[in-house]
Structure 1
Amino acid sequence: MHLQFSFYLRLFCFGIAMKLAMLPAATAVGQLQHHTLDLHWYPGTATWYGDPEGDGSIGGACGYGTLVDVKPLRARVGAVGPVLFMKGEGCGACYKVKCSDNSICSRRAVTVIITDECPGCPTDTTHFDLSGAAFGHMAISGENGQLRNRGQIPVIYRRTPCKYPGKKIAFHVNEGSTPFW
């Protein structure tokens, strides 16, 4: 009987541990942040910036500079609001973003790499400010301009692995960097 009880107790503890491991951590503003890859889609909004077919702005809060014009980043970049930017911890994260307005959007999701913070984005919801090319990619074929004319659109998103085939990733810390900058 003792062995059977011990088995069920371990099984129960394992089940609780698995459920806790699947819960996302809550942020200071009460939103959910997704540090791990996620198979669930979450609601948000998206806008676009820069040239209509552009790669995104040069520079940005993440320090990628002119790399936004070079593959694998080219045309797949975006800025996010504070919920996903997380004071810089969100830099370099990849997300699949899909427009949820079926009247003008395809079923395709665009994969974007976070390279910037959106200074005017809402602080209490998840918002993506995508390059013009990434935003237009979500439209039904030939409707890119019409989708961009809508301005802000409803989207669903999820965290996804970043893929850089044939590329080596390196990090550079600027001279003079401190724990405060």
Structure 2
Amino acid sequence: MPPPVLQNPIHTLLKPLLLLLLIFPTTTTSLTSSTATPPPLSTTLSQWQSARATYYAASDPRDTVGGGCGYGDLVKAGYGMATVGLSESMFERGQICGACFELKCVDDLRWCIPGTSIIVSVTNFCAPNYGFTSDGGGKCNPPNKHFVLPIEAFEKIAIWRAANMPVQYRRIKCRKEGGIRFTISGSGIFLSVLISNVAGAGDVTAVKIKGSRTGWLDMGRNWGQNWHVNANLQNQALSFEVTSSDRMTVISYNVAPKDWRFGQAFEGKQFET
């Protein structure tokens, strides 16, 4: 008499399961697109928030040059007077440089110009003054959310005599003409690149550079939107990879020809808006 055949208990359990799978096939959903693609900026950064705003009146044209973001001459850089300096609680140590905000004056029927708003780009830093309290003169002290505008921009939403005004603000997409600008400075193997005229989120969180004879090299934030790397990249065509705060990336190949020189500026591709 042949020995009894012992059934594998795992096989016994799997049989009905396999039968169910054959009768009711399952479908799989890929999460790649939902996790890799960031939500639109307009839906993530469009909530109105409260702050205050003051203005400055430029007494000299040179006052429009410089700033905490390093853009240099704001007129030549394409920003004009549609600019703003942010208090420390908003400045994010310069990472937010280039971002765009919409502002409107609120809660003051005497000084606000109703039905108006302005769009400005972040180009400067309003330093705190710890000689005053945040509610007694230290307008840009933490935790205050404060905007400092050129008087030309301030007067579009409020009467200039108002001085320190309550406002509402929201982050919006930046719309720019032309491509991202790369201004190269430095000396020898130290190369610094000012990145400006950035559309979309407007700010830059990561930059890579590539010479025609190198791989991609990470650049570090020097200050504002000035990025640097220590590498001998002279006599090589330069490419750039720029990533913004909404995790979008634009790659511009061979932006600068191999005979580029320090002090020159070049234009690459642009973020879609």
In the other structure, the counterpart of 1:73 is 79
Tell me how far apart the structure 2 counterparts of residues 116 and 95 of structure 1 sit (CA, whole Å): 13
The residue matched to 2:171 in structure 1 has which SS? strand
* Inter-CA distance 57–123: structure 2 relative to 1 (3 Å threshold): farther
* Count, aligned residues: 147
Per-residue CA deviation, residues 101-128 of structure 1 (Å, 9 max, x unaligned), is 3412222110000000011312202110
1:171 aligns with 2:199: no
Q: CA RMSD in A?
A: 3.3
Unaligned runs of 5+ in 1: 1-9, 11-16, 23-35, 140-146
Normalising by structure 2, we get a TM-score of 0.46
CA contact (8 A) 1:55 1:132 kept: no
Q: Rg larger in 1 or in 2?
A: 2
Unaligned runs of 5+ in 2: 1-28, 129-139, 193-218, 223-273
In the other structure, the counterpart of 2:93 is 87
Tell me how far apart the structure 1 counterparts of residues 63 and 167 of structure 2 sit (CA, whole Å): 19
Greater length-normalized contact order (CA 8 Å, ≥ 6 residues apart):
1
Q: What amino acid sits opposite 2:168 in the alignment?
A: I
Higher share in helix: 1
Higher share in strand: 2
Tell me how far apart the structure 1 counterparts of residues 94 and 77 of structure 2 sit (CA, whole Å): 22
In the other structure, the counterpart of 2:174 is 162
Normalising by structure 1, we get a TM-score of 0.67
Q: What amino acid sits opposite 2:163 in the alignment?
A: G
In the other structure, the counterpart of 1:46 is 53
* Percent identity of equivalent pairs: 28
The residue matched to 1:65 in structure 2 has which SS? coil
In the other structure, the counterpart of 2:102 is 96
In the other structure, the counterpart of 1:5 is none
Following TM superposition, by how much is the alpha carbon of 1:50 offset from its aligned partner in structure 2, in angstroms? 2.5
* Inter-CA distance 179–39: structure 2 relative to 1 (3 Å threshold): closer
Tell me how far apart the structure 1 counterparts of residues 57 and 142 of structure 2 sit (CA, whole Å): 22
* Inter-CA distance 69–100: structure 2 relative to 1 (3 Å threshold): same
Q: 1:137 aligns with which of 150, 153, 156?
A: 156
